[in-house]
Amino acid sequence: MLQALLTDIPDGRRMTEDEAARLLSVRGRDVWAIAAAADRVRAEGVGEAVTWVCNQNLNVTNICVNACEFCGFSRKNGDPEAYFHSVDEVVSRLRAARGRGVTEICTVSGLHPGFTADDYIDLIRLIRQEAPDVHVHASNPQEVAYAAARSGMTTAEVLSALKQAGLGSLCGTAAEVLVDRVREEICPGKIDTAEWVRIITEAHRMGIPSTATLLYGHIETAADIARHLSIIREIQDDTGGFTEFVPLSFIPWTTPLYLSGRAPAGATGRLDVLVYAVARLFLDTVPHLQASWVKLGTKMAQVALMSGADDLGGTMYEESISKGAGAAGTDYLDPTEMRRIAEDIGRPLLQRTTLYAVP
């Protein structure tokens, strides 16, 4: 059955959701057969290049009205580790980014209790003012919904205002796992699956592209991951608005979900390989698959590049969210090291823009 499936899918037959769940449950040597099939599909679809973007993160605050069980980043007002960058601090970071030749600023923060739509809009305007040539990759469906609720606006009005202010693309985060049974346990304060789908679709139809993400390695099942992939594929079939898919391996160490004993210590290497390989085989209309070195570490990111991934993400600079969950070495990845990773598996390294143009 496995060999027939791994022949049929590269030949153009679409994998079903049940088949994806079965592949995600495979153990033993067959894991490598699935990875090899995904690697062939990657080579035929997008070629041999390993791409990267020169980007910088900007997490303005970790103060958040939510307390997601998988998160080690958020804090409440008054907590010793809570922070909220002033305008001057933000400007200093933006000027540093400009001096580094950064082409993308990526900003997602906590849902600060004082934020309204104006705060999100003004931040994008400030980025545009201080770094006019960068691509602004910002916010996500949860932030859009929060801004709309806080300001008496529709989500479409918020998205339109963000785009007018200079938003280039929307972060496809806050997706976690698009299965409400899982969401109710790991992020009960967040929007539900239907709302996430509605807002991301709304953004795509307004000409705002986005990434798509998956948080895996906690309480989800193989069937849950397959359902998530199916939803992403359905949206892409409808809008074509996803630029890339980014699996995010759960970093457990400081999270309530792990510390309470309800989740394991993150994904195993087997699951990391299978999530990347199955995503490449299943998401036939999403061109790019990013190996998140921040979540995987550079060694496992290289394995992901041999299991269907074609992109290493960005330089990052000042990563805070994974670091808050206990990950080490997340602040910066030098392009020289990226080149070593790519050339070690016999592939060239190419710098790209956020939307995957190669300068």
Q: Classify residue 260 as exposed, middle or buried by CB count within 10 Å of its CB (0-12, 13-18, 19+).
A: exposed
Instruction: At 245, list the tokens.
Output: 């898919």
SS3 131: coil
C-alpha distances in angstroms, 311 versus 134, 263, 280, 332, 356? 20, 29, 12, 16, 10
- Residue 106 known to bind ligand: no
H/E segment holding residue 16: none
Task: Give the chain's end-to-end CA distance (angstroms, integer).
Answer: 43
- Residue 282 known to bind ligand: no
Q: CA-CA distance, 132 to 197, in Å (whole number)?
A: 31
Q: CA-CA distance, 246 to 322, in Å (whole number)?
A: 14
- Residue 70 known to bind ligand: yes
Q: Give the DSSP letter string of 308-351.
A: T--EEEE-BSS--HHHHTT-SS-SB--HHHHHHHHHHTT--EEE
- Residue 176 known to bind ligand: yes
Residues annotated within the binding site for [4Fe-4S] cluster are 64, 68, 71
Residues annotated within the binding site for S-adenosyl-L-methionine are 70, 176
Residues annotated within the binding site for (3R)-3-methyl-D-ornithine are 292
Residues annotated within the binding site are 64, 68, 70-71, 176, 292
